A and B are shown apart, each in its own frame.
Chain A
Amino acid sequence: MALTEAQPEEARVTTTQLSGAEIVIQALIDEGVEYVFGYPGGAVLHIYDALFKRGSLKHILVRHEQAAAHAADGYARATGKCGVCLVTSGPGATNAVTGIATAYMDSVPMVILTGQVPTPVIGSDAFQEVDTVGITRPCVKHNFLVKDVKDLAITIRKAFYIATTGRPGPVVVDIPKDVTDPGIKVPYSYPREIKMRSYSPVEKGHHGQIKRAVDLMLEAKRPVFYTGGGVVLGEGSAQLTELVRATGFPITSTLMGLGAYPMTDPQFLGMLGMHGTYEANMAMHETDVLIAVGARFDDRVTGKIEHFCPHARIVHVDVDPSSIAKNVKVDIPIVGQVASVLADMLRLYQERKPKSSEPPVADWWAKIDQWRGLDCLKYDGSGSAIKPQFAVETLYKVTNGELYLASDVGQHQMFAAQFYPFDKPRRWINSGGLGTMGYGLPAAIGAQLAYPDAQVACITGDASILMCIQELATCQQYQLPIKVLLLNNGYMGMVRQWQELFYESRYSHSYVDALPDFVKLSESFGHVGMRIERPADLEDAMREAFAMKDRFVFMDVIVDPTENVYPMIAAGKGHHEMHLSPSLTDRELA
């Protein structure tokens, strides 16, 4: 083993003899794991037996392995702790892959334990055999195949260490069945500290670079903070808020970063990017100093790279060096933990800030306020149909903005990002990078288990919800009082929107025919179902739903089937080339 193991005095001194299966359970307990999301099967039967005998580790039985990964992911995003799932070999592992890839794209710390066929038959196309390490390699931070029970404890420790440090991510530990043989016992010890010569994530940012960044901020005329999911993942929300307030600069956020800075604060310009606000995108286009923190210049954010921030010098803070200058050249790269770098920036900025009573960058704010005056999210709510925007606004009103809100993928996700301003990090739980339909409900399960007394909801669409609908059973089994808000337009709304705008309204297979009766469906799983069709009924119905503190309530809200998400930057366009809502201006801005 090519690693420096813990110092002897730090290691847990024990002579306990455990089987591989018992080691898995004991290691998870020693790791402080609260929940394991899983589904049993042949290759993990020894582990499930050890789980049964041990009794003290809480296991949540999902109804599909994809949901095990999503639920562990939702738990991790809501808490910041490592999510854990346990699935069997072959189809168990392949079903989990979508969930693993989802976590990978959004850098969510997760450990996925997969069963594998016994080592002597690996490679023989045995029953339920698949090359799990091979299949998952491109969508994990790292993975392991444990071939010797003596390596099991240290490998699990390494998996947690890698998953939760640096830029977090999912780590798969593939465990052949013979490695968990209850008849073979080995001495067990679980190292608390671990060092790996090939892996040492950075902590602090380079002082000289931070100083250069602050210099740039001090001379900026039109600065913007552009922040992403890294601020949430790196627990840098407090430091970010303090720095942004100290500078008085405007701030915009990616979909993944929403809530890291209070969205109801006047300095917040709204989300940027493809469905970002007019003011955020215009500010990006005009800025002279861009301070990017924990964001990765994704194509949904930058639009056409050639048109991205044409006037800006760019500071980029990220814990992952490979994120820096990947898509966009930057002037001042800073590799480090965002919380630490932001704290250093704030200290330097405070020291050197000019003592002036002038409000900072007042001219810039005047311009931004003009853009804001357009009120780009305005929609026409006069008709008899419920507008999806109105449904989200009502959700915000009814829940006082305090939800843990898990989302599926599509129009409802964008409407939620636009109309449900989060003031705290880790409240907005959605698949941003991979865009996984079916993510919302299982992710809400993870969040609700993490915070049993909190209000947890899942916002979804009629197409997305059917992709993991089987989890209604899990919610019933564990009596999870999640509230589902289905914005039901009878379409794959985002697909329909693109077909309307870019394919001359040829709605190829985006119509969801033969939808179930969601009320009856929910009731058949033992839940409360509600169908809401009129704008006037919406608020009362939602209040009624959220008043049922101990029940899972499914709200099937019938919304205007042809509403689109605006503003919109078409793929390949720049920030200044937004389409605005036709009800607003019916013009394209250039």
Chain B
Amino acid sequence: MRHIIAVLLENEAGALSRVAGLFSARGYNIESLTVAPTDDPTLSRMTLVTTGNDEIVEQIKKQLNKLIDTVKLLDLSEGPHIEREMMMVKVRAERDDREELKRLADIFRAKIIDVTDTSYVVELTGASKKLDAFIDAVPEGLIIEVVRSGPTGIARGEKGLSL
């Protein structure tokens, strides 16, 4: 099963490599990992997406918690939560395709943020599945480049993951 896990880490050099090293050393799956400092500059927040059966995910959470740099951890998948991922797609946009791609961007509520005679860069934010759907919808052969941030997430309701 897919799990999205949020981790508050000490914003120390090497904290990220401890997490990455843990996943590779123990052979856990890692689909994506994003990290950035928070409003508290001593803390980083990491969101990682992993898959595994219940035992493996339980062990992943225990191992993450065991890292000395880990301050707090929340498995967002355990409750209602919101996930967002940002994507930029560079597409070949010539002749009739220009209008088609513009319409597609509108349908997905995406923005075209760079335009040349032959290309667009489309920015799209949403759940990862929506991003997948957009890629599928772009006519074949037009995609030049895709860059995705990996999902981040936050729990619904007033409870927050903070100190």
Binding site for B on A (CB under 8 A): 2, 133-134, 137-138, 141-143, 145, 162, 196-199, 320-322, 324-326, 329
Contact = CB atoms under 8 A, between A and B. Distances in A.
B66 A145 contact: no
Contact of B13 (A2, A142, A145, A329): A145
Contact of A198 (B14, B21, B58, B70): B70
A325 B25 CA distance: 19
A142 B68 contact: yes
B123 to A, nearest CB: 34
Contacts of A137: 14, 17-18, 21
Contacts, number: 44
Interface in B56-94: 58-59, 62-63, 65-66, 68-71
Nearest to B43: A2
A244 B20 CA distance: 43
B163 interface: yes
Interface bin, chain B: 20 to 34
Given A137-B21, A199-B68, A325 B14 contact: no
User: Which 7 pairs show the lowest CB-CB distances between chains A and B?
Assistant: A322-B62, A2-B42, A142-B68, A198-B71, A2-B10, A322-B66, A138-B25
Given A2-B10, A145-B13, A197-B71, 19 more contacts: A2-B42, A2-B43, A133-B14, A137-B18, A138-B25, A141-B68, A143-B14, A162-B68, A196-B68, A198-B9, A198-B10, A198-B70, A198-B71, A199-B68, A320-B66, A322-B62, A322-B66, A326-B59, A329-B55
Given A2-B12, A2-B43, A322 B68 contact: no
A101 to B, nearest CB: 12
Nearest to A3: B10
B56 to A, nearest CB: 10
Contacts of B163: 197
B149 interface: no
A198 B17 contact: no
A59 to B, nearest CB: 28
Interface string B23-67: 001000000000000000011000000000001001100110110
22 contacts: A2-B11, A2-B42, A2-B43, A133-B14, A137-B14, A137-B17, A137-B18, A142-B68, A143-B14, A145-B14, A162-B68, A196-B68, A198-B9, A198-B68, A199-B68, A320-B66, A321-B62, A321-B65, A321-B66, A322-B59, A322-B66, A325-B55
A168 to B, nearest CB: 13
The winner among A133, A137, A320, A322 for most chain B CB atoms within 10 A is: A322
A329 B13 CA distance: 36
B71 A325 contact: no
B18 A325 contact: no
A123 B70 CA distance: 26
A196 B71 CA distance: 9
Nearest to B24: A138
Contacts of B58: 325
A137 B67 CA distance: 11
A10 B66 CA distance: 28
Contacts of B66: 320-322
A2 B11 CA distance: 8
A121 to B, nearest CB: 17
A588 B12 CA distance: 56
Nearest to A326: B59
A198 B69 contact: yes
A198 B63 CA distance: 14
B17 A134 contact: yes
B136 to A, nearest CB: 39
Contacts of B18: 137
A135 to B, nearest CB: 11
A543 to B, nearest CB: 49
Contacts of A321: 62, 65-66
Nearest to B59: A326
Nearest to A323: B62
Contacts of B42: 2
Contacts of B21: 137-138
Contacts of B25: 138
Nearest to A138: B25
A141 B55 CA distance: 23
